[in-house]
Chain A
């Protein structure tokens, strides 16, 4: 990388130190941007001059969901955003909106995770014995998998909640991520928890305040498409209200294999866990 391939970009960063500042303020920092640099790389460069700048990041490859920020007015992952795709010589970096800011670019994601837990984002089945001490896998066809797989890619980065117009004003609405995760489990053929999630979802925090602005799906870095999950969830819940929703038994436990073991193949070693 020669000096001529770098261009100067100004990173305008939103600073807020709870011990010193009453209000957040902007700070400009010059960055030597090389081709292929992401906003996260630029932040590390800024850190050399401004060591107190705080943000969350970890995997730097778009899978951990830590580095969600408002970059040039749009919620994105800093590690997934090339400086070159932003184009201009000035890049604004602010903490994710619709979350309280703890410091600088660090949002308080606690409320999001709390709401997520209220949605019971785990398999709920009657055969809890099998769930605690599994003997075999649950049977699920590829078609059944496809019904929820997309929504399982969520990395809980919070970008969708930052983009949602309803969450911008409403403190009760659950937001795209928790609702999409509730639908992920309702649509999972191994799950039998629709009835236990139904009351929460039929209340004020449910999908009824979504008006399909679709911003959540447009900013989602993993293509989870929470807007799709929420509209499908509305259909499910309305059908359930009209007693038209078909109930399926949850996926059964796979039967034990009944083929005979060939004599030259040894038995499995004893279990070391559980």
Chain B
């Protein structure tokens, strides 16, 4: 029963990724300027809007990527223990990375947080 839900969630996450990653790519590569200069970075990291979209993109992309990786590993036909271990490790790793990335986004907001873009 789970497999159907996991797959549907993966398809849903691609929708989120197409939109948010598209925006991210446009900002980084198509808008000109120096997006990696500290000033530019500060402007984005203090914005609540940016932080929210980063966290959403982080979650969707982590889920999508790790679900795909988990599928590749499970299609190699591991035994029952290795199967459970793979699921557990990837879930833990994914949650860990999500928590870490969310901390980075929230910590970056700092005291001078803005709500715009």
Contact = CB atoms under 8 A, between A and B. Distances in A.
Given A209-B71, A238-B11, A241-B8, A171 B77 contact: yes
Interface string B74-94: 111100000000000000000
Interface string B1-37: 1111111100100000000000000000000000000
Interface of B: 1-8, 11, 71, 74-77
Contacts of A206: 3-4
24 contacts: A169-B75, A169-B76, A169-B77, A170-B75, A199-B1, A201-B4, A202-B1, A202-B3, A202-B4, A203-B1, A203-B3, A204-B3, A206-B3, A208-B3, A208-B4, A208-B6, A208-B7, A209-B71, A209-B75, A234-B7, A237-B4, A238-B4, A241-B5, A241-B8
Interface residues of A, number: 19
Chain B binding surface SS class: helix
Nearest to B68: A211
Interface in A138-160: none
A171 B11 CA distance: 24
Nearest to B3: A208
A38 interface: no
A173 interface: yes
Rank and list the top 6 A-B pairs by shortest CB-CB distance, nearest first.
A202-B4, A170-B75, A208-B7, A171-B77, A202-B1, A208-B3
Contact of A166 (B4, B5, B6, B75): B75
Contacts of B4: 201-202, 206, 208, 237-238, 241
A230 to B, nearest CB: 12
Contacts of B8: 238, 241-242
Interface string A199-229: 1011110101100000000000000000000
